Amino acid sequence: MRLDEVEPVPVAGGLLWRPLRRMLGVEAFGINAYVAPNAGDDVVEKHSESRLQHEEVYVVVSGRATFTLAEESFDAPAGTVVFIRDPTVQRHARAEEPGTSVLAVGGKPDEAYAPSAWEVYFYSERHRDDERWDLAIAELEQGLVDYPDHPGILYSLACYEALDGRNAAALAHLQRAIEIDPIFAGYAEGDSDLDGIRNLPGFPA
């Protein structure tokens, strides 16, 4: 297949994710691609792999990007390979040309690969434009079966439930996500998905 045959899913504040691992059914390692329609768009979101402890390789497939690893920035034209061994390093890439595409491969050393829970809530985002909250909720509920009590799935589920008017469930799942990982309190503070429940009793302070 060609990368451009994999329909991109808008995630993480506008990042376009091509769910390559899911489309191919890869089970041995993580492999995904990202594309930036415009110069200046993110083509790798700012993050570290501290939680998952993954090593990562990024390959600039087309276009040109500026990578920033910790405090170091460098030019990365098509063909550039970036290997990040240390999972704690903060990483980010910005497209410098329209249509810049980056392939990402990762996994945890000395451990059998298991698909990451973030794929569940990233993939559910494809229902957002059509406002099919019911489909997103169903996928995320299945995600909780596969990844019990995962705070990212709980938080995303709360967002879609709030959008769908399922207020009691949304509050319960949001409370649980923040209980497990307080970082989600910061996300909730400015997340418009949660505006429908923000003023209800039980919304986390």
Q: What is the pLDDT of residue 42?
A: 95
* Phi, psi dihedral angles at 44 (to 5 degrees): -140, 125
Q: Are residues 10 and 43 in the same domain?
A: yes
Q: Are residues 147 and 79 in the same domain?
A: no
1 vs 60 pLDDT, higher one: 60
Helix (H, G, I), strand (E, B) or coil at 156: helix
Averaged pLDDT for residues 39-59: 95
Q: What is the pLDDT of residue 168?
A: 97
Q: Are residues 100 and 146 in the same domain?
A: no
Q: What is the pLDDT of residue 121?
A: 96
Burial classification of residue 148, based on how many CB atoms lie within 10 Å of its CB (0-12 exposed, 13-18 middle, 19 or more buried): exposed
Is 164 within 8 Å of 131 (Cβ atoms)? no
Q: E strand or H helix at 30, and its extent?
A: strand 30-36
Averaged pLDDT for residues 148-175: 98
Q: Determine the Cα–Cα distance for residues 81 and 20; give it in Å rounded to an integer.
A: 18
Q: Is residue 113 a part of any domain in this protein?
A: no
Q: Which of 107, 133, 167 marks a domain boundary? A: 107
Read off the CATH number of the domain in which 49 is found. 2.60.120.10
Residue type, 65: A
Averaged pLDDT for residues 167-191: 96
Full domain range(s) for residue 152:
118-194
Q: What is the pLDDT of residue 154?
A: 98
Q: Are residues 96 and 185 in the same domain?
A: no
E strand spans, 63-169? 64-69, 72-77, 81-84, 91-95, 100-107
pLDDT averaged over every residue in the chain: 95
Q: Is residue 205 a part of any domain in this protein?
A: no
Averaged pLDDT for residues 108-135: 94
Q: Is residue 128 a part of any domain in this protein?
A: yes
Describe the crossing of helices 151-163 and 133-146 by its angle, rounded to 10 degrees: 160
Task: Count how many domains the chain has.
Answer: 2
Q: Is residue 100 a part of any domain in this protein?
A: yes
Read off the CATH number of the domain in which 170 is found. 1.25.40.10
Q: Are residues 85 and 23 in the same domain?
A: yes
pLDDT single digits (tens) 10-36 = 997 678 999 999 999 999 999 999 999
CB atoms within 10 A of CB 18: 22
Q: What is the pLDDT of residue 205?
A: 83
Q: Is residue 200 a part of any domain in this protein?
A: no
Q: Are residues 16 and 94 in the same domain?
A: yes
Place of tokens 């249509």: 99
Q: Is residue 112 a part of any domain in this protein?
A: no
In the predicted structure, residue 188 carries a pLDDT above the cut 90: yes
Whole-model pTM: value is 0.87
